[in-house]
Chain A
Amino acid sequence: MQNDFEPKIIAFCCNWCSYAGADLAGVSRLQYPTNIRVIRVMCSNMVHPSLVIDALTKGIDGVIMCGCHIGDCHYIEGNKSAEKRANAITLMLEDFGIEGERFRLEWISASEAPKFAQVMREVVDIIKKLGPSSYS
């Protein structure tokens, strides 16, 4: 049954903003679905496109990449590079026949716990509607 589908979603979160935002979501007890698996990276700029593509072609149902807002990057402009890379990843997904909605880039600051929880809810919703990845 479609409703029973529990997607596996990876969220790459940068150490300085988004991971801290996830922590604050915890401290604030903001509830979101259990499908998210956070992988901590130092900067959104660290996420290699092959990590995303590999994950999505091995059966992960969705990947979200989270960084600091533009201008707030701990590494000055790491997130700008990440943004360019994310655009490239989106283009690559098409070649692999993966729906664009399975990958998403978001800027979430350390104080934006409600946004973190909201984004995670949205992502799970979207992926649940999409159904399991064709690679899983």
Chain B
Amino acid sequence: MIQLNINGNKFEFPEGKTLLESIESVGHSVPKLCHHKALLPYGACRLCLVEVHEEGRNTSIQASCSYPALNGLSIFTDTDRVKRARKIVAELLLARCPDSENIRRIAFDLGVGEPRIKKKYDDCVYCGLCVRICEERMGRNSVSFSGRGPGKKVEPPFGKQNEMCWTCGACNFICPVGKKVSDLTSMNVQIPIPNLFNLGLDSKPAIHILYPQAVPNTPMIDKEKCIYLNHEACKICETVCEAKAINYEQKEEKLELNVGAIVLSPGFELFDPKIKPELGYGLFPNVITSLEFERILSASGPFSGHVLRPSDRQPPKRIAFLQCVGSRDFERDYCSSVCCMYATKEALIAKEHVGGNLECDIFFMDIRAHGKGFDEYYQRAINNGVNYIRCRVPAVEEIPYTQNLLIKYLTEDDKKVSREYDLVVLSVGIKPPKSVTDIAEKFGIELNEFNFCKTSIFNPTESSRDGIYVAGPFTEPKDIPETVMQASGAASRVLSLLCDVRGSLITAKEYPPEIDVAGQKPRIGVFVCHCGTNIAGVVNVPDVVEYAKKLPDVVFADNSLYTCSNDTQEIIKEKIKEYKLNRVIVASCTPRTHEPLFRNTIREAGLNPYLFEMANIRDQCSWVHMFEPEKATEKSKDLVRMAAAKARLLEPLQKSSIPVTKAALVIGGGLSGMTSSLALANQGFEVHLVEKEKELGGNLRNIKYLLNGEKPQEELERIVQEVKSSNKINLYTQAEIKSLEGSVGNFKTKIAANGNEKEFEHGVVVVATGAKEYKPKEYLYGQDEYVMTHLELEQRLAADDDWLATDKKRPPKTFVIIQCVGSRDKERPYCSRICCSESIKNALKIKELSPKTNVYILYRDIRTYGFRESYYTKARQQGVMFIRYDEDKKPEVSRNGDGLQVEVFDQTLRIPIEILADFVVLAAGVVPSDGNKSVGQFLKVPLTSDGFFLEAHMKLRPIDFATDGVFLCGLAHSAKAIEESIIQAQAAASRAATILSKDFIELEANISQVIDENCDGCAFCIEPCPFKAITLIEFMRNGSIKKTVEVNESACKGCGGCQATCPKKGIIVRGFKLEQIYAQVNAVLGV
């Protein structure tokens, strides 16, 4: 070891370092230009000058990057002499390259304004970085210095572009003045490495983090592009990485796992629109796919969220979206289900980003807004000026000079129009993954006619092979909520299969007993992190440490290279013991990623994990104030002071836990309720199934045949028998809920069944209250016996196969089916999702029984999403007539002698049409169950404005309620098909199992607490609580009425709405108490 005195402080260093390395390692910054960590010291720019005092010698000014750190030297980095010398160097550099932003910043930092000598406007500062990186790191020598003195220049050998150069771009990357050195050396243009996450719209380095939210969030090497892996040169990243984390040797590993079940969710592939050259994708730069446009809209995308078109990076004024690219065509006779809505969303967001003048035209065939809340969203887009044009665009042309695009189309009233667009977005469809046949072969599963995974209506999460379950668009194109449901559904099947071995691979972690810190004066330890150079490269870490030491109650402060590394964790534990620390602060990165790690560390040292606080001096200082090191250091000190102020007031917190009653209440005995009950029973949990009717089966009892021809009644009977014979399921029919109280883990319900009252306890609730068919008021329904709903038609068709052929009295010749009866209107603005498919099912049935019978379907949009589309095609092939009507011009039905007269204005032909029908069938919509309101009140869960239940999150939590322990499935959530109900019911069972499989539920520690002496029961806090966790209570105390509120700890999530509403400090959030936040505010002021 050697000793150096740096700016008056003594430090010890290992031998063999340079002065610069030593100075920087203790947190002093030195300006530099020609120095790079991955290259040998060069000493050319002379910005890194320091003053060196050596005993027995004169004081000298030396370039610290190349001067060895010798024992006994005294170094000064900040004297006036040093500053003057550096200033002259900076002035000379600035005069040479006055246009370089980098040089201007260096000069500005050193206090140089305008150079006093003549400006040269050179594009090179002769730092030699490009020459050295090419020689030392790449071993190519394809650029070097030639000439001397004023004739010196950077040149390739013989002044010619040569084959030696790989065009790797290292020279361009390292050049401080932005010179394109590779243009001198290579005839090739450097090819950017496309950033695949942004679909090649921008570029990335050969080592990179996939995208900001990637898990794990660590960089990976692109083995195709890495210079080391391909040419055994470079290795710069290895030198630069302070954590020594780069591993070039990492190889693909083969692991063998023994598993009991497999879930396949390999996702989907997007349709490649290059297959349709007429649309111009790949030919015209401003024709892009919807996913590319999605990336362009994203804040983390290639243009930082600015809507720009690729050719000239200009904001577009008019965008066209072309729907059904790669869906609903001859080769792919299915609908991709999601494109209509994502195009609508992208159009709305683009309008938001660009501003009101942006025009968005969506060219479509049918708008398929069949999901929950989608039709309202579609209406909103129309109201916001998104223009929908019903036309399938055959071709896109480019206007050569502007690179704008021309679309020629027919309007609804048959006019030819051509319109110019700045950008065309192709709404590409969903295809099975590329490797699908490989997957199918490997796992021994069957695929369907479209090469998606084959499943069946009643086993929608199962592949054709036992023990292999499936989820996501692998089975059918679908939206996010359906994907989430199916994933949970597949998990439920696995949980049933493996229920005997549940939890058998878990080992519990053991901690030492907790140290009691009650009544102790705070003893704070502060650990300031360098994060390699991430923090220390900007913030003066030793300075921050010294500052922290002086803060009140801080008894220990130190710095570390990486506070999150294993060895520093051990040091933290040692210091806690050595200094009897009872509060710990880590000043490093964000608590969102690292707080759990450090909390665990201090817990391992015996401290309560909540006696921990972080100061985020990386994400909030060094990274965002890179060019203001002094201010960043001051801010870091402020952040540490704020953390200390809060830490002083931290209290140990305990997560309380409550026991779980291992039983479920399932409300509703339809298909969903029964499926959920069976799934729970198969996982080994007791179930109380409550049905208001006498019979089980709900709506499914009225479904006699399915779109694919299957007859569901046998399956229904099997399910009913299974429910009845299960010894885990307590079945109550003709039952009504009288009361329901409690919260997650511990509910208590009273029901009346067949006149008897019964009470039971349970840990979770599954809401499966179903829905019913709309009873129409329109189209003579109820007045004319030949007007019926589609369910009624189905009963009649199923009851008598010969009805159509043998009705002697009046064999029906013509059926007219009217869509959207009771759906998509003012009263019920939502789409009932299933009616289009149901009507096509009935139409096909009629055609099957009597091919000569005429069937007309009067529709607004046909919404046969997913594989249902092929039945729409089949119906048209079999002669079912589809007539489109407009909402403003609804069909009219009147009695005309023996027949029913239907008048409709055909929107496609633009003429009024009269049809004489024997029967008019109404595709009556799905309306919510009457009981939803009271169930909602019992459970304190909300309904949508349409009367269905409202889930916790439309996309990501479609099975959960915001209230813990309550789940929903089936038609109670929204209109859906049989297989979708089964999926959601299975999903509800697996969500419920996340609670039922535990003996105790651990509650959040940072939740609300009532301060008894302050609360006077004013009840202001009750309304703002989003979880309805607060109730007003009154009781007698010392002879008078005491009013106060009570917090349901299992419902509270700790958002703090109550605390912010209370005028009397009567309710607080642990860990975020008002005085703790006050302390931080005061610390900002330096109080």
Residues of A within 8 A of B (CB): 8, 10, 15, 19-20, 22-32, 34, 36-43, 45-51, 54-55, 58-60, 73-78, 81-82, 85, 109, 111-115, 117
Q: Are A46 and B1060 in contact (CB under 8 A)?
A: yes
A39 contacts across to B, CB distance below 8 A: 642, 1077, 1080-1081
How far apart are A18's CB and chain B's nearest CB, in angstroms? 11
Q: Are A42 and B639 in contact (CB under 8 A)?
A: no
Q: Which of B305, B639, B1054, B1077 contacts A51 (CB 8 A)?
A: B1077
- Could you list 6 examples of A-B contacts with CB < 8 Å? A20-B592, A25-B624, A43-B1056, A46-B1056, A55-B1081, A81-B1060
How far apart are A77's CB and chain B's nearest CB, in angstroms? 5
| Contact of B638 with A by CB under 8 A | yes
| Contact of B627 with A by CB under 8 A | yes
A29–B616 Cα distance when bound, in Å, is 14
Q: Are B1056 and A41 in contact (CB under 8 A)?
A: yes
How far apart are B284's CB and chain A's nearest CB, in angstroms? 29
In the complex, chain B residues 1030-1082 whose Cβ is within 8 Å of any chain A Cβ: 1053-1057, 1059-1062, 1069, 1072, 1074, 1077-1078, 1080-1082
A22–B631 Cα distance when bound, in Å, is 18
A19–B590 Cα distance when bound, in Å, is 9
Q: Are B1069 and A75 in contact (CB under 8 A)?
A: no
A40–B1069 Cα distance when bound, in Å, is 14
Q: Are A22 and B620 in contact (CB under 8 A)?
A: yes
- Known A-B contacts A38-B620, A43-B1056, A45-B1055; the reply to A24 vs B212 at CB < 8 A is yes
Q: Are A76 and B1082 in contact (CB under 8 A)?
A: no
Q: Are A46 and B1069 in contact (CB under 8 A)?
A: yes
Q: Which of A51, A81, A117 contacts B1081 (CB 8 A)?
A: A51
A74–B1056 Cα distance when bound, in Å, is 12
A49 contacts across to B, CB distance below 8 A: 1060
Q: Are A45 and B623 in contact (CB under 8 A)?
A: no
In the complex, chain B residues 796-815 whose Cβ is within 8 Å of any chain A Cβ: none
Q: Are B1053 and A75 in contact (CB under 8 A)?
A: yes
Q: Are B1060 and A42 in contact (CB under 8 A)?
A: no
Q: Are A111 and B619 in contact (CB under 8 A)?
A: no
**Most chain B CB within a 10 A radius of its CB, from A29, A34, A73:** A34
B574 contacts across to A, CB distance below 8 A: none
- Known A-B contacts A38-B616, A42-B1069, A43-B1056; the reply to A10 vs B1081 at CB < 8 A is yes
A50–B674 Cα distance when bound, in Å, is 52
Q: Which residue of A lies closest to B209 (CB)?
A: A27
- Known A-B contacts A26-B620, A85-B1060; the reply to A48 vs B1081 at CB < 8 A is no
Q: When each residue 947-980 of chain B gets 1 if its CB lies under 8 Å from chain A and 0 otherwise, what string results? A: 0000010000000001000000000000000000
How far apart are A19's CB and chain B's nearest CB, in angstroms? 7
- Known A-B contacts A29-B623, A31-B624, A45-B1060; the reply to A112 vs B1084 at CB < 8 A is no
| Contact of B458 with A by CB under 8 A | no
Closest 6 interchain pairs by CB? A46-B1056, A26-B619, A75-B1055, A26-B623, A43-B1055, A45-B1057
In the complex, chain B residues 569-628 whose Cβ is within 8 Å of any chain A Cβ: 590-592, 616, 618-621, 623-628
B1072 contacts across to A, CB distance below 8 A: 41-42, 46
In the complex, chain B residues 265-305 whose Cβ is within 8 Å of any chain A Cβ: 298-300, 304-305
Q: Are A41 and B1077 in contact (CB under 8 A)?
A: yes
| Contact of B467 with A by CB under 8 A | no
Q: Which of A26, A38, A78 contacts B1055 (CB 8 A)?
A: A78
- Known A-B contacts A34-B632, A51-B1077, A75-B1026; the reply to A60 vs B592 at CB < 8 A is no
| Contact of B661 with A by CB under 8 A | no
A76 contacts across to B, CB distance below 8 A: 952, 962, 1026-1027
A24 contacts across to B, CB distance below 8 A: 212, 300
How far apart are A87's CB and chain B's nearest CB, in angstroms? 14
Q: Are B1059 and A46 in contact (CB under 8 A)?
A: yes
A23–B1055 Cα distance when bound, in Å, is 21
A101–B565 Cα distance when bound, in Å, is 44
- Known A-B contacts A48-B1060, A60-B1085, A114-B305; the reply to A31 vs B625 at CB < 8 A is yes
Q: Which residue of A lies closest to B635 (CB)?
A: A34
How far apart are A15's CB and chain B's nearest CB, in angstroms? 7
B64 contacts across to A, CB distance below 8 A: none
**Most chain A CB within a 10 A radius of its CB, from B591, B618, B962, B1085:** B1085
A55 contacts across to B, CB distance below 8 A: 1081, 1084
A25–B624 Cα distance when bound, in Å, is 7
- Known A-B contacts A39-B1077, A58-B1082, A76-B1026; the reply to A34 vs B619 at CB < 8 A is no
A8 contacts across to B, CB distance below 8 A: 1084-1085
A55–B1085 Cα distance when bound, in Å, is 9
Q: When each residue 439-477 of chain B gets 1 if its CB lies under 8 Å from chain A and 0 otherwise, what string results? A: 000000000000000000000000000000000000000
**Most chain A CB within a 10 A radius of its CB, from B624, B628, B1078:** B624
A59 contacts across to B, CB distance below 8 A: 1085
A34–B407 Cα distance when bound, in Å, is 50
A23–B624 Cα distance when bound, in Å, is 10
- Known A-B contacts A42-B1069, A78-B1026; the reply to A114 vs B304 at CB < 8 A is yes
A49–B1063 Cα distance when bound, in Å, is 9
A23 contacts across to B, CB distance below 8 A: 590, 592, 616, 619
How far apart are A47's CB and chain B's nearest CB, in angstroms? 6
| Contact of B192 with A by CB under 8 A | no
**Most chain A CB within a 10 A radius of its CB, from B635, B962, B1057, B1062:** B1057
A11–B212 Cα distance when bound, in Å, is 23
A46 contacts across to B, CB distance below 8 A: 1055-1057, 1059-1060, 1069, 1072
B139 contacts across to A, CB distance below 8 A: none
A10–B639 Cα distance when bound, in Å, is 11
B638 contacts across to A, CB distance below 8 A: 37
| Contact of B912 with A by CB under 8 A | no
A19–B635 Cα distance when bound, in Å, is 17
Known: A23-B590, A37-B1084, A74-B1055. 14 other contacts (CB 8 A): A10-B1081, A10-B1084, A25-B624, A36-B620, A38-B620, A42-B1069, A43-B1055, A51-B1074, A51-B1081, A59-B1085, A76-B1027, A111-B212, A111-B213, A111-B298
A82 contacts across to B, CB distance below 8 A: 1060
B1053 contacts across to A, CB distance below 8 A: 75
A16–B298 Cα distance when bound, in Å, is 18
Q: Are A30 and B624 in contact (CB under 8 A)?
A: yes
How far apart are A75's CB and chain B's nearest CB, in angstroms? 4
A50–B1069 Cα distance when bound, in Å, is 16
B642 contacts across to A, CB distance below 8 A: 37, 39
| Contact of B1024 with A by CB under 8 A | yes
A7–B300 Cα distance when bound, in Å, is 30
A32 contacts across to B, CB distance below 8 A: 624-625
| Contact of B677 with A by CB under 8 A | no
| Contact of B1006 with A by CB under 8 A | yes
Q: Which residue of A lies closest to B954 (CB)?
A: A71
Q: Are A48 and B1059 in contact (CB under 8 A)?
A: yes
How far apart are B1080's CB and chain A's nearest CB, in angstroms? 5
Q: Which residue of B lies closest to A16 (CB)?
A: B592
**Most chain A CB within a 10 A radius of its CB, from B621, B1080, B1087:** B1080
How far apart are B318's CB and chain A's nearest CB, in angstroms? 25
How far apart are B1018's CB and chain A's nearest CB, in angstroms? 15
Q: Are A27 and B619 in contact (CB under 8 A)?
A: yes
A81 contacts across to B, CB distance below 8 A: 1024, 1026, 1057, 1060-1061
A37–B631 Cα distance when bound, in Å, is 13
A29–B1056 Cα distance when bound, in Å, is 31
Q: When each residue 69-97 of chain B gets 1 if its CB lies under 8 Å from chain A and 0 otherwise, what string results? A: 00000000000000000000000000000
A76–B1051 Cα distance when bound, in Å, is 13
A82–B635 Cα distance when bound, in Å, is 28
Q: Which residue of B lies closest to A114 (CB)?
A: B304
A113–B211 Cα distance when bound, in Å, is 14
Q: Are A112 and B299 in contact (CB under 8 A)?
A: yes
A77–B592 Cα distance when bound, in Å, is 21
B626 contacts across to A, CB distance below 8 A: 29, 31
B1085 contacts across to A, CB distance below 8 A: 8, 58-60
**Most chain A CB within a 10 A radius of its CB, from B299, B616, B628, B639:** B299
